[in-house]
A and B are shown apart, each in its own frame.
Chain A
């Protein structure tokens, strides 16, 4: 593994020799990779390979044992993520994330969830609450703008008519999309998604893929995602990083990864004679789906 230069202007996120130990267990072992700006980068690997741990390091929930995490904004400002406190990773470094087991504010409405996500700008507009208490027009304008932004996202994820319903009442697939919209409302440079397609049916997965492409193309937000649904990974990602036992075993465009024997052995799990079948299962040529396609 060659040493990467953290000042690579193309990379939105540079992970350098990241190691994370829990007691005697090394969950992530000397991992280095880059997520390029404007890409959807997928992080895949067997269960327990340390993918979520990497996410937790990037988003400030864990402090890495060793290594450097550099985030570079479009304007060139760099942030060393491993040094930022938890919440500042989102506020200052502009990294947003979703969770494997959806973490919405279930007792708040869909709209309120998106308003909470715009906490920082609204806080500033409300003069750190003091001016807001007086009900000055400046804050009211800011709030209207925040509602408009939330509304736009709700329209995008097709949940506008449920804006005033509690988030906990939404069906599973809608909750996943809402969580992504909530993360996007913080205006991130990098969006980290932990298994966004888990538990979604093929149709919902397709909607999700569309949403992610929209985010990448229209919002100048780069995406890093963990995903097991290879159909989704192969379809939308520009770059794939494969982990096994905390180490990187492959790194490249999806088509190369699919054929990498190490990845097949550790993750996809196919012998040569089964390739056709696996291609089907991996979602590249689902026979029935193909037939049904007009």
Chain B
């Protein structure tokens, strides 16, 4: 791989030409003719101009890519990472450690939290009132939900190194737990929240027991299947879950028992403010912020406890862990259960916010997005996951505001339709530029002197 020989310009041209040719081949059946419903059956409208344009574009993109990659590869070949060293060479000037770069991760999380704390205020001031700010606060809630899910999954994937493709199942368990407990037994949100976490955690253990002896790809496949099983059960167990219709009119969140409504016993009367439906939204915002911060705090704390250290050791080398007397099955189970528990919390928040749950909200794409947030953020990094969640969830929202593109692509153009395309492109770009995520360094959990970040090259990703 490292042996990318410097190709001649002719070879690069030839390569780009080949790409264009393949594109042409693909275009002929797919693009070259448009079928319209004409007066007498289908009519074919040739679009050779478009085909030529596409091929030219692909030729150009490949050309640029080769030229850029060529130089990058040449540079990379001359400076392989220290990890590729077959022996720790001249280890004295520590190549994989750089305390100077600590600033960002150390300041980043407080900055993020600080901004998140004041977001409703900022949004209200910027858009002149609470109600106009609703869009921003709703977006904030959505992003924070994913931040929390990302942080929860981060325990499983980032710290313990277990690839879980069915995380959304625990999110679903949490959501349905609250939905059912509140509609059937009339339990309040504050009672249901811990219960939902508990149930999801239990499901985590139940799934974990048979599954955790699997490794790598096999574990991923089984967790993927688990996610689908939960969704299918939710769809088909109509008596309890309401099938694909889902469960509606779930009780709304109350301010610790005080409902958000107009009138003498409502929240606004209690605090002496004029009634505003936005109070509930702002409350929900702070609720999810608190839940997310709880997840983060617990994770940060756990990393410094023997359990968290054992998770990371497990990710580094499972066999060594066993030789040191660590019960790897139990350790994996705790990671699974805790991750699932936070997923359950997030799920019950989702249910209380929406007032409605249906299996549709818990499809594989959700799992994939949460996992992508963790991977893009950098496994194990709190700040990275937060930033990735903002980008992955907030980014598509930006697309709504790209109306000016209509001037370029015509009236029928809806940027939103390209969400997944951009999502995929962003993923590919990340894999090229930062294959280990935005923040891939690892901070030691204990130190005699100064804590120095450990470069990604030494940190392993786990085998499953």
Task: Please give the residue numbers on chain A whose beta carbons come within 8 Å of chain B beta carbons, in ascending order.
Answer: 59-61, 85-91, 96-97, 99, 103-109, 111-112, 115-120, 122-123, 126, 128-129, 132-133, 135, 139, 143, 147, 151, 160, 163-166, 168-172, 175, 182-183, 186
**Residues on the A chain within 8 Å of B445, using CB:** 112, 115
Q: Is the CB of A133 within 8 A of B301?
A: yes
Give Cα A289–Cα B302 distance, bound, in whole angstroms.
Answer: 52
Q: Is the CB of A172 within 8 A of B88?
A: yes
| Contact A119 B305, CB 8 Å, known A169-B94, A172-B87 | no
0/1 per residue, B289-300, Cβ < 8 Å to A? Answer: 000000000100
Q: Is the CB of A106 within 8 A of B460?
A: yes
**Residues on the B chain within 8 Å of A126, using CB:** 305-307
Min distance, Cβ B336 to any Cβ of chain A, angstroms: 15
Interface size range on B against A? 35 or more
Q: A105-B313, A172-B87 are in contact. List 10 more A-B contacts (CB 8 A).
A: A87-B321, A87-B322, A107-B458, A108-B313, A115-B446, A126-B307, A135-B301, A147-B448, A164-B447, A164-B449
**Residues on the B chain within 8 Å of A168, using CB:** 83, 88, 96, 458
Say yes or no for B102: interface residue by CB 8 A criterion: no
Q: Is the CB of A132 within 8 A of B446?
A: no
Q: Is the CB of A164 within 8 A of B96?
A: no
Give Cα A91–Cα B442 distance, bound, in whole angstroms.
Answer: 28
Min distance, Cβ A112 to any Cβ of chain B, angstroms: 6
Give Cα A172–Cα B91 distance, bound, in whole angstroms.
Answer: 11
Q: Is the CB of A107 within 8 A of B459?
A: yes
Q: Is the CB of A105 within 8 A of B312?
A: yes
**Residues on the A chain within 8 Å of B87, using CB:** 171-172
Interface centre among A103, A116, A120 (most CB of B within 10 A): A116
Interface centre among B83, B305, B334 (most CB of A within 10 A): B305
Q: Is the CB of A90 within 8 A of B324?
A: yes
**Residues on the A chain within 8 Å of B302, using CB:** 129, 133
| Contact A170 B444, CB 8 Å, known A105-B312, A107-B454, A108-B313 | no
**Residues on the B chain within 8 Å of A186, using CB:** 324-325
Give Cα A16–Cα B446 distance, bound, in whole angstroms.
Answer: 43
**Residues on the B chain within 8 Å of A139, using CB:** 305
Which residue of the partner chain, among A96, A123, A183, contacts B307 with CB atoms under 8 Å? A123
Give Cα A99–Cα B322 distance, bound, in whole angstroms.
Answer: 12
The 7 nearest A-B residue pairs measured at CB? A107-B459, A90-B325, A91-B325, A105-B316, A122-B306, A103-B320, A168-B458
Q: Is the CB of B325 within 8 A of A164?
A: no
**Residues on the B chain within 8 Å of A61, using CB:** 319, 322-323
Across chains A and B, the number of contacting residue pairs, with CB separation under 8 Å, is 162
Give Cα A133–Cα B304 distance, bound, in whole angstroms.
Answer: 9
| Contact A96 B306, CB 8 Å, known A163-B448, A169-B458, A171-B88 | no
Give Cα A165–Cα B448 distance, bound, in whole angstroms.
Answer: 10
Give Cα A160–Cα B449 distance, bound, in whole angstroms.
Answer: 11
Q: Is the CB of B321 within 8 A of A166?
A: no
**Residues on the B chain within 8 Å of A147, using CB:** 446, 448
Which residue of the partner chain, among A85, A111, A123, A166, contacts B446 with CB atoms under 8 Å? A111
Min distance, Cβ B378 to any Cβ of chain A, angstroms: 13
Q: Is the CB of B310 within 8 A of A116?
A: yes
**Residues on the B chain within 8 Å of A109, using CB:** 444, 446-447, 454
Min distance, Cβ A225 to any Cβ of chain B, angstroms: 15
Q: Is the CB of B91 within 8 A of A111?
A: no
CB-based nearest B residue for A188: B325
Which residue of the partner chain, among A119, A166, A171, contacts B96 with CB atoms under 8 Å? A166
Give Cα A87–Cα B313 distance, bound, in whole angstroms.
Answer: 14
Near A by CB (< 8 A), chain B positions 323-378 give 323-328, 334
**Residues on the A chain within 8 Å of B321, using CB:** 87, 116
Give Cα A99–Cα B320 distance, bound, in whole angstroms.
Answer: 8
**Residues on the B chain within 8 Å of A183, using CB:** 323-324
| Contact A87 B446, CB 8 Å, known A105-B317, A119-B306, A122-B306 | no
Q: Is the CB of B324 within 8 A of A86?
A: no
Say yes or no for B66: interface residue by CB 8 A criterion: no
CB-based nearest A residue for B88: A171
0/1 per residue, B86-97, Cβ < 8 Å to A? Answer: 011001001111
Interface centre among B83, B88, B96, B451 (most CB of A within 10 A): B88
**Residues on the B chain within 8 Å of A151, using CB:** 448
Q: Is the CB of B447 within 8 A of A165?
A: no
Which residue of the partner chain, among A90, A111, A165, contacts B94 with CB atoms under 8 Å? A165
Say yes or no for B450: interface residue by CB 8 A criterion: yes
Give Cα A160–Cα B94 distance, bound, in whole angstroms.
Answer: 16
Min distance, Cβ B96 to any Cβ of chain A, angstroms: 6
17 interchain pairs, CB-CB under 8 A: A90-B323, A91-B327, A96-B324, A99-B320, A103-B319, A108-B442, A111-B447, A115-B306, A119-B309, A119-B325, A122-B305, A122-B306, A133-B301, A166-B97, A168-B83, A170-B88, A183-B323
**Residues on the B chain within 8 Å of A171, using CB:** 87-88, 91
Interface centre among B320, B327, B328, B459 (most CB of A within 10 A): B320
Q: Is the CB of B313 within 8 A of A163?
A: no
CB-based nearest A residue for B451: A164
Q: Is the CB of B448 within 8 A of A119?
A: no
Q: Is the CB of A96 within 8 A of B323?
A: yes
Give Cα A63–Cα B221 distance, bound, in whole angstroms.
Answer: 29
Say yes or no for B452: interface residue by CB 8 A criterion: yes
**Residues on the A chain within 8 Å of B96, using CB:** 166, 168-169
**Residues on the B chain within 8 Å of A59, using CB:** 323
